[in-house]
Structure 1
Amino acid sequence: MSRITNKHRGIREIVHNRSLYLLAVPAILFSVVFSYLPMAGVAIAFQDFNPLAGLFGSEWVGLDNFRFFFRGSDWLIITFHTVFFNLMFIITGTALALALAVMLTELGRNAVVRTVQSVMILPNFISWPIIGLFSVTFFTADTGAINQFLHAAGLAPIDFYTEPGVWPPILVLVNLWKTAGFGAIVYMAAIVGIDRELYEAARIDGATRFQCIFRITLPLLKSTIVMLFLLSLGNIFGGNLEMIYSLVGDNSFLFGSTDTIDTYVFRALRTSGSLGMTQAIALYQSVVGFLLVVTANKIAAKLDRESALILNSKEATRPQCKIPATTNGWRSYSMPLRSSSPPCACIRSCS
């Protein structure tokens, strides 16, 4: 009986808000056509795919494509590089974006801050191939700007394109330069949404600017930080093909420190033309990335349900109260509330 009632309630909800659901139709169709229908191509990972024979006419080879990839040691190296680079991008990008957002917010709204915001977000709109062309002017052995500076300082030049050890920090720094500005804008938008009365009350009680940052701003940004981290975690097995290929290219001297899953797949597709093997590697990326996101989301839901992307029914109905502590800063914890309890509110007792 309850199922029938819920079904009727759902139908009434759709009819009542039909204009809103109609607005969602293009997005739903776009997702179905470009995200869900192509998932049938997963079958290619288990085939010796022939474009002329098609998806249903190609020979099935079982797990042979996976064995070809996993039988050597290359998959361990490129998987390590992929995870390492993405973790470094996430950690350093989050730290720098937070620092920039807090710093610019503390400086207030003035012409200088607005100019800095505009300048630091510009690299986000420059494509990686253009950045790759610029990098040549810096890293070329004979005429590069860095080696010209080293020569003027009486130091030995560095042949960047034959030294694999220098490229991991270069890739991290270039990625920071390109993405940190946009991340800072996202965190600034979250900081602006924090109630200013919290800062006023803290300053009345004698809190310094740094205490306000570490006791109010950062704790209240925790949900945003965790949510963005979970979204980034889904792409932790993505190899950043466009960035690495634009900066490094097909330089075999640098494969030992820069080769990732995506660059390996791209190179294998050009040399062997095996669509089945490349699809098998892509499936490996997707499955492991999905499991990482689900696991991290589960952990986040246990620690702080407001930070989770998806909640199950039990977690969604569990109320949470955020009560700032007077002596130890702002802390968030969950406590059971009866149905007759008043709405949860933040209460601060003054000493």
Structure 2
Amino acid sequence: MPLYKNLNEILNKFCSKIYQTTILLPYLISIVVVSYIVYAFLSMDTGLINKFLEGIGKDTVLWYNEAKFWPYILILVYCWKSFGFNTIIYYAVIVGIDTNLFEAAMVDGASKIKQIIHITLPSLKPTVIVMTILAIGRIFYSDFGLFYQVPMDSGALYSATNVIDTYVYRALFYIGDYGMSAAASLYQSVVGFLLVVGANALVRKLDADNALF
């Protein structure tokens, strides 16, 4: 018997729901709540990380004044928050795979790894391609809450957290530069559209069955 199971192979419904809820919960949490969770770890005076550093005799860090740490912090927060949503998408595809394929593979003596390589991954290919094309179209977009709310709009972090979305917001509400805000937003839309069209054209050339249009 294998020591591991796919999420869709867990027969105990209670355990399955617990796992699904645990995975999806971060995605459902408001970005404002996430920002305070991050603050609870990074606060200068009461943050868990600085308390730990004090406990082991190390110097504390002014996290909200040190821009060099924030590319890594934001990547970590984004992965933690978005992991559940992406997991549910791929989980839904895996659940829809015909179980007869896995049963036939087991009869032929295929291991779990071989089942994943020859059945699960090929079944996920269309979804992976679609998700990739959509992600390419949003390269010039960003999660506004992630780059504005999580760093607490700290001016010292602008070199690491100022993206097009936060720039548009500040130009619109702080400076009142409506023209530049509109131009930046238009640039995002046009370039995003062109990237989607280009990525889809490449996919259509390589594998026409999995292209979006």
TM-score after normalising by structure 1: 0.56
Q: Percent identity?
A: 43
If you compute each CA radius of gyration, which structure gives the higher value, 1 or 2? Answer: 1
C-alpha separation between the residues in 1 aligned to 2:40 and 2:192? 36
Q: Is residue 93–residue 124 contact of structure 2 (8 Å, CA) maintained in 1?
A: yes
* Structure 2: tracts of 5 or more residues without a match: none
Q: Which residue of 1 aligns with 2:194?
A: 291
Q: Which residue of 2 aligns with 1:248?
A: 151
Root-mean-square deviation (CA), in Å? 1.7
Summarize the Cα distance change of 1:220–1:257 in structure 2 as closer, same or farther, 3 Å threshold. same
C-alpha separation between the residues in 1 aligned to 2:73 and 2:117? 31
Task: State the SS of the aligned residue for 2:149.
Answer: helix
C-alpha separation between the residues in 2 aligned to 1:209 and 1:154? 47
Equivalent residue for 1:125, pick from 28, 41, 46: 28
Structure 2: which amino acid aligns with 1:116?
Answer: Y
The equivalences for 1:194-273 within 5 A come to 194-273=97-176
Q: Which residue of 2 aligns with 1:166?
A: 69
Task: State the SS of the aligned residue for 2:145.
Answer: helix
Structure 2: which amino acid aligns with 1:188?
Answer: Y
C-alpha separation between the residues in 2 aligned to 1:108 and 1:173? 32
Q: Is residue 171–residue 181 contact of structure 2 (8 Å, CA) maintained in 1?
A: yes
CA offsets 1:228-269 (integer angstroms, 9 cap, x no match): 222222222113212211111332211111211111111122
Q: Give the CA deviation at 1:153.
A: 2.7
Summarize the Cα distance change of 1:156–1:106 in structure 2 as closer, same or farther, 3 Å threshold. farther
Q: Give the CA deviation at 1:181.
A: 1.0
CA offsets 1:146-204 (integer angstroms, 9 cap, x no match): 11122223333221111111111211111122121121111111001111121122122
Number of matched residues? 209
C-alpha separation between the residues in 1 aligned to 2:12 and 2:116? 17
Task: State the SS of the aligned residue for 1:221.
Answer: helix
The equivalences for 1:332-351 within 5 A come to none
C-alpha separation between the residues in 1 aligned to 2:142 and 2:8? 34
Q: Give the CA deviation at 1:113.
A: 2.3
C-alpha separation between the residues in 2 aligned to 1:151 and 1:236? 39
C-alpha separation between the residues in 2 aligned to 1:150 and 1:270? 39
Q: Give the CA deviation at 1:298.
A: 0.8
